[in-house]
């Protein structure tokens, strides 16, 4: 399956705006491909206000977030890969979501071998009509 992070991020962004609050992103600035103004990085992280009044041309894509914002009076084009987003939350009350590190396999089915036989465990569910 495709990662759920972009869908959750877009949903929370809209939810925060619907509640008349300010959506913010906490990003890991050490992730490859991120483009942010370096003067505003603190301890390898940065908080970005993505409220519509604070940004221009915001695109919440499936691979990255892009937008233009002003820092110290200067316009800056930001590129934020989705795997660098650590959290999305409302500035006013902190409500939102902290993302876990993405794993390659997000299956909920067991993949451990049976201790007795050494074979992979199969799902024990069956179709009921």
Q: What is the pTM of this model?
A: 0.77
Helix, coil or strand: residue 12: helix
Work out the average pLDDT over 22-43: 96
Q: Looking at residue 2, what is its pLDDT?
A: 87
Whether 17 is covered by a domain: the verdict is yes
Q: What is the largest CA-CA distance in the chain?
A: 67
Q: Looking at residue 118, what is its pLDDT?
A: 62
Instruction: Specify the range with the lowest mean pLDDT, choosing from 1-5, 19-23, 51-55, 110-114.
Output: 110-114
Which one-letter DSSP state was computed for residue 113? B
Q: How many domains does the chain have?
A: 1
CATH number at residue 78: 2.30.30.220
pLDDT at 119 over 90: no
Whether 55 is covered by a domain: the verdict is yes
Q: Give DSSP secondary structure letters for 82-122.
A: GGGEEEEEETTT--EEEPPPP-S----S--SBPTTT-PBPP
Whether 83 is covered by a domain: the verdict is yes
Q: Looking at residue 15, what is its pLDDT?
A: 98
Whether 23 is covered by a domain: the verdict is yes
Range of the domain at 15: 5-98
Give the pLDDT confidence of 81-110 residue by residue, as tens digits: 999 999 999 999 999 999 987 655 445 455
Q: Give 101 or 58, the one with higher predicted confidence.
A: 58
pLDDT at 120 over 70: no
pLDDT at 69 over 90: yes
Q: Give 96 or 122, the one with higher predicted confidence.
A: 96
């Amino acid at each position: 399956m495709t990662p759920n992070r972009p869908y959750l991020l877009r949903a929370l962004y809209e939810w925060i705006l619907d509640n008349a609050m300010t959506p913010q992103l906490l990003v890991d600035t050490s992730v490859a491909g991120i483009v942010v103004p370096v003067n505003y990085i603190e301890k390898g992280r940065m908080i970005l206000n993505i409220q519509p009044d604070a940004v221009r041309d915001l695109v919440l894509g499936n691979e990255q977030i892009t937008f233009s914002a002003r820092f110290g009076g200067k316009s800056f084009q930001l590129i934020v890969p989705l795997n660098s987003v650590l959290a999305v939350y409302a500035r006013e009350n902190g409500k939102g979501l902290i993302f876990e590190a993405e794993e390659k396999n997000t299956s909920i089915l067991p993949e451990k071998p049976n201790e007795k036989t050494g074979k992979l465990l199969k799902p024990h569910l069956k179709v009921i009509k």
